[in-house]
Structure 1
Amino acid sequence: MTSPSLFRDRILPVLTVIFAILVIWHVFVVYLNAPFVRDQAARDNETLSFGQVVERTFVQERPVLPAPHQIAVELWDTTVNKAITSKRSLVYHAWITLSATLLGFAIGTVLGILLAVGIVHNRAMDRSLMPWVIASQTIPILAVAPMIIVVLNAIGVSGVLPKALISTYLSFFPIVVGMVKGLRSPDTLLLDLMHTYNASQNQTFWKLRWPASMPYLFTSLKVAIAISLVGAIVGELPTGAVAGLGARLLSGSYYGQTIQIWAALFMAAGLAAVLVGIVGFAHGRVLKRMGVKP
């Protein structure tokens, strides 16, 4: 029996997938950008070899699909070479989006847990509220976001809160579903045992249901924190915001700056990965303290 290897079992598969993605990406860079190179050469009465066409597809200022190195250069320039207070800095825009994300995530977490507790302990809420919670997620967020922004602006509420509420709208759902499942996960024998001990409903909740729901809660939080970021970005699009990752995407689309768009997308993906990683770390620490294997 072969011994486990960190490189072979975990690192090598990841590197293989990344390499395959990069190869496919470079192929599509040439395929999508080549028509513009040929058209430009034809207007200049210039004949290009295949190698020259390939070379120019990787250095276009406004390519259909940017090359990976162009995105890397843009990321370096807008994160390292720009002051974080500059409106051209992706760090600045990421912080604007992050503030709305965290506020919406916090509100969504509290709301989701409270709704889940009510649904589990009240049969009327279970039958009446749960279907509406599910139905709320059938409405496209792109249709809801402008309405929320317009209504809140009409009553004088602007800034971070409208974007945070859109994040809340997306993030509370996985928490409700996960916590309902978690709070109902204790075995019937354990619930009967608590009744045998004459435990009150509060004691049963805090000593049995709540600890049993922790794995479900943190799994839901990982989904919720990522979707909160999506909500914050979507909330910046219909407002014509001047700051935030959504604003960078919007301005890039207005002026055909595809490299800027892709850099903002990679920044958003990296930010989501960090947030999910933080929740995952907290997940492991909490379960370890509880004596449960994650």
Structure 2
Amino acid sequence: MQKERLLQHRILPVVTVLLVIIAIWYVAAYVMNSPFQRDLDRRGNVTSTAMEFFQKTMAQPKPVLPAPHQVVSNVFENTFLRSVSSNRSLVYHGWVTLSSTVAGFTMGTLLGILIAVGIVHVKALDRSLMPWIIASQTVPILAVAPMVIVVLGAVNITGLLPKALISTYLSFFPVAVGMVKGLRSPELIQLDLMRTYHASAGQTFWKLRVPASIPFLFTSMKVAIAASLVGAIVGELPTGAVAGIGSKLLAGAYYSQTIDIWAALIAGSVLAALLVTIVGIVGKIVDRSMGGRLA
């Protein structure tokens, strides 16, 4: 019975949406690749049946929009059929991007928590710092990334740190906002109870506010880890990096290898999904260890 409910309420809707997306993708690939294929047939005086023409649009080496099977084949080849040390391996490039993602996510999470604690306990910071934090997120990351790279490069700081700082810039905001909401989530009656017990500010913080904020923290961390990955990829673009998912996107764009571009995008999406899943699992483990109930 539980398996049937899981199939109906979770697996079936996801599979249905996925099949619809794939169908739309194939139609779009045919429509966008057809003009170029018609031009090739006309120049070569080739006459093709409708099926042959469709097959040709799905097998172009440099299509305008790659077909799903072309992208899947590329991902499989560059993930499982190549050495992880090869510069064509998506595992290798994913690992390079992952390192800066994790570094930026760690720094962003710590920074967000520190900012949230300060905002909750210092009214001056709540009134002065919070508006600036919100305003900082209105600046496009594509404008910030080159400035960070250039400034740090001027003082000979290159490699992992500049990309990690860009990831930090994107990841600290959701953590800060989530933690502020979490630390303020205890109700007045709970705070009054702590005062009745003559609890100090530190005891109230550690025994009431922090436990109450944990669900909010891990929810915001899911957003932060995905944003951190985006920051790491964007950070690779202005540096002309030779490794990383961003470098794969650059190389694909430079040589018009659209299949490689889409394969890199799929690899980044899978990496983001895995990171979000890991954060969610850790959140459930922490929740269980603190006596929470799992759905």
Is 1:181 the counterpart of 2:185? The answer is no
Residue in 2 that maps onto 1:27: 27
- What are the Cα deviations for residues 31-68 of structure 1, in whole angstroms up to 9, with x where unaligned? 11111110001111222222221010111000011111
Instruction: State the secondary structure of the residue aligned to 1:84.
Output: coil
The within-5 A match list for 1:191-270 is 191-270=191-270
TM-score by length of 1: 0.98
Instruction: State the secondary structure of the residue aligned to 1:73.
Output: helix
- What are the Cα deviations for residues 184-235 of structure 1, in whole angstroms up to 9, with x where unaligned? 0000011011111111111000000000000100000000000100000000
Aligned mates of 2:232, 2:38 — CA distance in 1:
40
Aligned mates of 2:24, 2:40 — CA distance in 1:
25
Instruction: State the secondary structure of the residue aligned to 1:129.
Output: helix
Amino acid of the structure 1 residue aligned with 2:41:
A
**Unpaired runs of 5+ in structure 1?**
none
Residue in 2 that maps onto 1:102: 102
Q: Cα distance, 1:4 vs. partner?
A: 6.0
Aligned mates of 1:130, 1:19 — CA distance in 2:
43
The within-5 A match list for 1:1-294 is 5-294=5-294
Amino acid of the structure 1 residue aligned with 2:216:
Y
Amino acid of the structure 1 residue aligned with 2:93:
H
Amino acid of the structure 2 residue aligned with 1:282:
V
Amino acid of the structure 2 residue aligned with 1:80:
F
- What are the Cα deviations for residues 116-141 of structure 1, in whole angstroms up to 9, with x where unaligned? 00000000111110000000000000
Of 107-116 and 67-76, deviating more is 67-76
Instruction: State the secondary structure of the residue aligned to 2:138.
Output: coil
Aligned mates of 2:110, 2:3 — CA distance in 1:
45
Amino acid of the structure 2 residue aligned with 1:101:
T
Aligned mates of 2:3, 2:263 — CA distance in 1:
40
Q: Cα distance, 1:286 vs. partner?
A: 0.9
Instruction: State the secondary structure of the residue aligned to 1:87.
Output: coil
- What are the Cα deviations for residues 74-95 of structure 1, in whole angstroms up to 9, with x where unaligned? 1111111111011111100000
Amino acid of the structure 2 residue aligned with 1:39:
D
Off by >6 Å, runs of 4+ in structure 1: none
Of 97-106 and 29-38, deviating more is 29-38
Aligned mates of 1:293, 1:64 — CA distance in 2:
49
Aligned mates of 2:251, 2:285 — CA distance in 1:
41
Instruction: State the secondary structure of the residue aligned to 2:74.
Output: helix
Aligned mates of 1:215, 1:8 — CA distance in 2:
28
Aligned mates of 2:280, 2:10 — CA distance in 1:
18
Amino acid of the structure 1 residue aligned with 2:218:
F
Q: Cα distance, 1:3 vs. partner?
A: 9.9
Aligned mates of 2:113, 2:10 — CA distance in 1:
35
Instruction: State the secondary structure of the residue aligned to 2:287.
Output: helix
- What are the Cα deviations for residues 155-200 of structure 1, in whole angstroms up to 9, with x where unaligned? 1100000000000000000000000000000000110111111111
Instruction: State the secondary structure of the residue aligned to 1:124.
Output: helix
Aligned mates of 1:143, 1:5 — CA distance in 2:
47
Of 169-178 and 27-36, deviating more is 27-36
TM-score by length of 2: 0.97
Q: How many residues of Structure 1 are paired with residues of Structure 2 in the alignment?
A: 293
**Unpaired runs of 5+ in structure 2?**
none
